[in-house]
Structure 1
Amino acid sequence: MENILRDKIFEFFRKNLDVRQEKEDEKETIESIRKGIEFKGTNLWVLIFATFIASLGLNTNSTAVIIGAMLISPLMGPIMGFGLGLGISDFELIKRSFRNFATATVFSVITSTLYFLISPISEAQSELLARTQPTVYDVMIAFFGGLAGIVASSTKSKGNVIPGVAIATALMPPLCTAGFGLASGNLYYFFGAFYLYFINTVFISLATYLVVRVLKYPQKEFMDKHREKVVKRYVGIIVFFTIVPSIYLSYNLIRKTYFNDQVHKFLHTELVFPNTQILSKTVSEDRKEIKIVMIGDTVPTIMIENARSKMVQYGLKDTKLIVQQGFGQEQMDINKLKSMLVQDMYKTNLDLYKSQAEQIDSLTKKLDNYRHTALMTSKIVPEIKVLFPYVDEASCSYTYIMHVQTMKPDTVMLVYMKSKQKIAGTEQDKIKEWISARAQTSNIKLIIEESKRE
């Protein structure tokens, strides 16, 4: 009985998870990926325009614009082509993919550098800064994104997975951030962003290679057996130098992420004191050093030493803790403190200014609508007197109407008229058509009230 149940469960998972059921012909998949590799003419210009759009999005801190640029960008082609070439031992495809990948990378960096050189906004926004410090999550996103991309490309129902992978793995923004680093002379930004770009590239290619091998794509056939051995040797070397750095990068990023998480737990558990707060912290995993600046009531040395003694519990045994507190004590840098306070106030005021500006803009639009409808009423009343002499009173204004069943709001122009006589349906249609043409809106609600006869 247990064996039957186990077999049924196994059959259920095999039936639902087997990607070979919808597998596209291997030759068609390979040809489809080959077509997306080339970077010249139209493809190259599309990449340049996408780079400009992404740079604008990073410069203005607009997530929507960045996403749009990633949808346009054709960068996924040569990266998946590289992984495919490794998987089927096609050395010519590997070389072609790498050549086009290098072309795309160089043109993207040059384009973004030129943009940031002429851009009037030189401050690094949060979207830019987010592309300078790779984490283990970037590795996971790139790897699983690469898996999704090649699995979808291998099936008949490809859908819109590739654009989604391009957005998730974020290949374009790090390149633009590297351009910003060159334009501003900040090599930290340049190398950090390029490191993230390299990680994404390596893990997408690695995921493509693994899926191609698992799905048993046909290997390239060689007439010359000696050349086949040479090519397979080269492919093996490239695979080795792709996988080993991947493991090394993953290990380093996991270690760094773990270290930062433990530091965060330590600071928010052991260095929490009444009437005192941490103003800033500098964490260096390489030097095994945590440097914090505290403001408020001075914390006794014995309490700080007590916190230091507990660092072992958080996996921070050999990490040095430097605490600076007070004003003028322990070599406190007053200028640095002032700078941090000014920056904090500036950011707070900037956020407040943006919020108030948006609110003012919204209120201004509403006020303009009210003015427009008031002006419209004063303009059309004399015309109504001539065209529809039986009308005694008239007014028009924009209003919200809520549908009771669907709870869906709708903005309409509400037109009220008071008439000396009953107005027929055809005449009412004529009035609505005239007001629609006059007010340049088709969404009109006409209410007519008949004057009471004395």
Structure 2
Amino acid sequence: MKKFYDILNLREGEDDKQKTLESVKKSISFKGANLWILACAILVASVGLNVNSTAVIIGAMLISPLMGPIVGAGFALGIYDFDLLKRSLRNLLNATAVSLAVSAIYFAASPFKDVQSELLARTSPNIYDILIAFFGGIVGAIAVTRSEKGNPIPGVAIATALMPPLCTAGYGIATAQWTYFLGAFYLYCINCVFIGIATFIIIKYLQYPPKKLVNKTVQKRVRTSITILIIAMLVPSAYLAYSLYREQQFKKNSDIFIENEFTAKGYMVIYKKSEFTRKKKTLELAFLSKFFTQPEIKRLDSVLNTNKYLKGTELIIRQDSTDRLNALKGDILKQVKSTENELNEKDVKIMQLEQKLAGSLNDKKLLKEANAIFPQITAVTVSKQNLINQKDSIIPVTAVLYRAARPLSPEDKTRLNKWLNQRLDVKNARVYEVE
């Protein structure tokens, strides 16, 4: 048991307590060298976020002196030195204000204001960021109390990442994107609070002597304040972590739905966009050649809503007139063949007719004349073909497709058919409305 205790004993290798405390007090001040280092770290982090460079951002984390007043606040709470606590918090507040101001000025002056992935990563904190800050803070506090500081301090600076969230908050101020500001500043607060709490726990465990004896009321007040801070940081971050989990499940199940209902059936998806917010979920798709009818879309909606992670998702399938024309081609040719039952299905002329019907409605001259009689018609095209039947007889076929702002009445359709026969000098023009 003693050997096991010796393995876990934090007091082995511990530096002199008074010496450690003096070192901590020196690190909380922001003047002279510390102030210059802070200003440079702000600019380096801002540039790194601006150009989306991970290496530059890591460099800013390493040179940032912001850990000093945070660890100082944790020490002050642990030894009940409220003068040191006030100084630490005042210096931390000043450093935070300077960082926000400098980063906001930089991003306001920078011509590049696009949101990069490194910047976005600091706008949505969750409970995992609390774990990183807490355990990183424990490592940092242990390292500060060692006689040989070793390698943990740089690692803690990188893991807890104080500077990038502050600069991201400055970006939010400069571009008036307040959701970015709030998300990034909340992440910064999480890091500050839980690094401080972790330091407090280590100092209490190592039994640093209090500056002065305090009664139980003061001790209880300190513990209550820490508990309130933990709850204030924990509750929103837990909700954000749950939201992140739901969003990941939404994306995962959306991909499964697309694979099962479309890709596996040979429908090529050429566009996909999904959106997940607290109030709305949408899945928007477009296909290379498949046209979905309303009954098919209703069936897909019902399949979508059977999945608990996709329930309530609005399915949007983008389809234009070309898709509709492709769907109508087969119907048109079937009607032509039923009227002219001697047509050869494999005739090359039918292939040419299909290509004509797949085109866009762009006969401007005919449209202008049709508008004079039927103002509701918005587009029209004509396809004329001489088809050859099995007896080598030539059969003229004329197909007219039109689009209207509102449906034509039966009387107007009859008038349109008669007018087209006269205008195109044919006897049996076949007219089809395209939605």
1:320 to 309, 312, 324: 312
C-alpha displacement at 1:328, in angstroms?
6.3
- 1:301 correspondence with 2:292: no
C-alpha displacement at 1:26, in angstroms?
2.2
TM-score, normalised via structure 2 length = 0.66
Corresponding position of 2:7: 16
Corresponding position of 2:269: 276
Report percent identity of matched pairs: 44
Corresponding position of 1:37: 28
Distance 1:85 1:253 in 2: 31
1:94 to 85, 91, 99: 85
Q: CA, structure 1 residues 185+290, in 2 after alignment: closer, same or farther (shift >3 Å)?
A: same
Q: How many residues end up aligned between the 2 structures?
A: 309
C-alpha displacement at 1:270, in angstroms?
3.2
Q: Is contact 1:271-1:307 (8 Å) kept?
A: no
Alignment of 1:101-120 (within 5 A): 101-120=92-111
Distance 2:240 2:6 in 1: 37
Unaligned residue ranges in structure 2 (runs of 5+): 322-435
Q: Is contact 2:125-2:187 (8 Å) kept?
A: yes
Alignment of 1:354-433 (within 5 A): none
C-alpha displacement at 1:256, in angstroms?
2.2
Report the residue type matching 1:282 in the other structure.
E
Q: Which stretch has the larger CA shift, 240-249 or 46-55?
A: 240-249
Q: Is contact 1:206-1:242 (8 Å) kept?
A: no
CA displacement, residues 284-338 of structure 1 (integer Å, 9 cap, x when unaligned): 2x33x42221122446421331231121xx5x7xx52111112369xxxxxxxxx
2:307 to 302, 307, 310: 310
- 1:292 correspondence with 2:283: yes
Q: Is contact 2:42-2:102 (8 Å) kept?
A: yes
Unaligned residue ranges in structure 1 (runs of 5+): 1-9, 330-454
Q: Is contact 2:124-2:240 (8 Å) kept?
A: no
Distance 1:211 1:25 in 2: 15
CA displacement, residues 407-444 of structure 1 (integer Å, 9 cap, x when unaligned): xxxxxxxxxxxxxxxxxxxxxxxxxxxxxxxxxxxxxx
C-alpha displacement at 1:185, in angstroms?
1.7
Alignment of 1:129-144 (within 5 A): 129-144=120-135
Q: Is contact 2:126-2:238 (8 Å) kept?
A: no
Q: CA, structure 1 residues 90+254, in 2 after alignment: closer, same or farther (shift >3 Å)?
A: same
C-alpha displacement at 1:65, in angstroms?
1.5
Distance 2:281 2:12 in 1: 54
What is the SS of the residue equivalent to 1:122?
A: coil
Distance 2:116 2:315 in 1: 29
Q: Is contact 1:278-1:292 (8 Å) kept?
A: no
Report the residue type matching 1:71 in the other structure.
L
What is the SS of the residue equivalent to 1:293?
A: strand
Q: Which stretch has the larger CA shift, 212-221 or 88-97?
A: 212-221
Distance 2:147 2:43 in 1: 34
C-alpha displacement at 1:214, in angstroms?
2.3
C-alpha displacement at 1:76, in angstroms?
0.3
Corresponding position of 1:194: 185
- 1:264 correspondence with 2:255: no
Q: Is contact 2:251-2:274 (8 Å) kept?
A: no
Q: Is contact 1:136-1:257 (8 Å) kept?
A: no
Corresponding position of 1:251: 238
CA displacement, residues 271-293 of structure 1 (integer Å, 9 cap, x when unaligned): 43312376222212x33x42221
What is the SS of the residue equivalent to 2:194?
A: helix
C-alpha displacement at 1:229, in angstroms?
5.9
Distance 1:263 1:12 in 2: 50
CA displacement, residues 184-236 of structure 1 (integer Å, 9 cap, x when unaligned): 121122112111111111121121122222222222214xx6xx566545523
What is the SS of the residue equivalent to 2:313?
A: strand
Q: Is contact 2:126-2:239 (8 Å) kept?
A: no
Report the residue type matching 2:208 in the other structure.
Y
CA displacement, residues 105-139 of structure 1 (integer Å, 9 cap, x when unaligned): 00001011111121122222222222112133322
Corresponding position of 2:402: none
C-alpha displacement at 1:12, in angstroms?
4.8
Q: CA, structure 1 residues 277+19, in 2 after alignment: closer, same or farther (shift >3 Å)?
A: farther
